[in-house]
Homo-oligomer: A and B are copies of this chain.
Amino acid sequence: MREINTNGKYSAVFGAYAEPIATVAPGEVVRLYTEDAFVGRLTRADQVPKEVRGDGNNPQTGPIYIEGAEPGDTLKAHILDIEMARDWAWSCLAENMGGIVASAATRLINEPLEERVWMYKYEDGMFRNSENLYFPWDPFMGTIGTAPGGGEAISSLVPGMHGGNMDVPDVKPGNIVYLPVNVKGAYFSTGDCHAKQGQGEVCGAALEISSYITLKFELIKNKKILWPRIESPTELVCVGSMKPMEDAARIAYVELLEWMIELGWEKYEAFQCMSQEVEVYVGNIVNPIYSLVAKIKKDIAYRCSNK
Whether the pair B249, A282 counts as a contact (CB closer than 8 A) is yes
- The answer to whether A40 has its CB under 8 Å from any CB of chain B is no
- The answer to whether A13 and B151 touch across the interface, beta carbons within 8 angstroms, is yes
Assess A150 versus B110: contact at CB under 8 Å? Given A133-B272, A202-B271, A279-B199.
no
- Chain copies in the assembled complex: 4
Among B152, B245, B273, the residue within 8 A (CB) of A245 is B245
Within A249-284, which residues are at the interface with B (CB < 8 Å)? 249-251, 253-254, 257, 265, 267-269, 271-282
* CA of A255 to CA of B65, assembled, Å: 42
Contacts A151-B12, A268-B93 hold; do A278 and B108 have CB atoms under 8 A apart? no
Beta-carbon nearest neighbor of A207 in chain B: B276
Distance A243 CA – B14 CA, assembled complex (angstroms): 22
Contact with A132, one of B17, B111, B304 (Cβ below 8 angstroms): B304
Chain B residues, CB < 8 A from A110:
101-102, 108, 110-113
With a CB–CB cut-off of 8 A, which chain B residues contact A281?
Answer: 199, 279-282
Q: Does A99 contact B (CB under 8 A)?
A: yes
Residues of B within 8 A of A251 (CB): 107
A273, B17: Cα distance in complex, Å: 39
Residues of B within 8 A of A111 (CB): 110-111
The listed residue (B12, B132, B199, B267) touching A269 by CB distance below 8 A is B132
- Give the chain B neighbours of A243 by CB distance below 8 A: 242-244, 246-247
Contact A268–B116 (Cβ < 8 Å): yes
Q: Cβ of B100 and Cβ of A250 under 8 Å apart?
A: yes
Q: Does A196 contact B (CB under 8 A)?
A: yes
Interface residues of A in 207-248 (CB under 8 A from B): 207, 240, 242-247
A272 in contact with B203 (CB, 8 Å): yes
Residues 266-307 of chain A, each 1 if its beta carbon lies under 8 Å from chain B, else 0 = 011101111111111110010000101000000000011000
- Scoring A12, A107, A267 by chain B CB atoms within 10 A of each residue's CB, the highest score goes to A107
Interface residues of A (CB under 8 A from B): 11-13, 15, 17, 55, 91, 93, 99-102, 105-113, 116, 118, 130-133, 135, 149-155, 196-207, 240, 242-247, 249-251, 253-254, 257, 265, 267-269, 271-282, 285, 290, 292, 303-304
Interchain residue pairs with CB less than 8 A apart (8): A100-B107, A100-B257, A108-B254, A109-B254, A118-B272, A152-B154, A198-B275, A242-B243
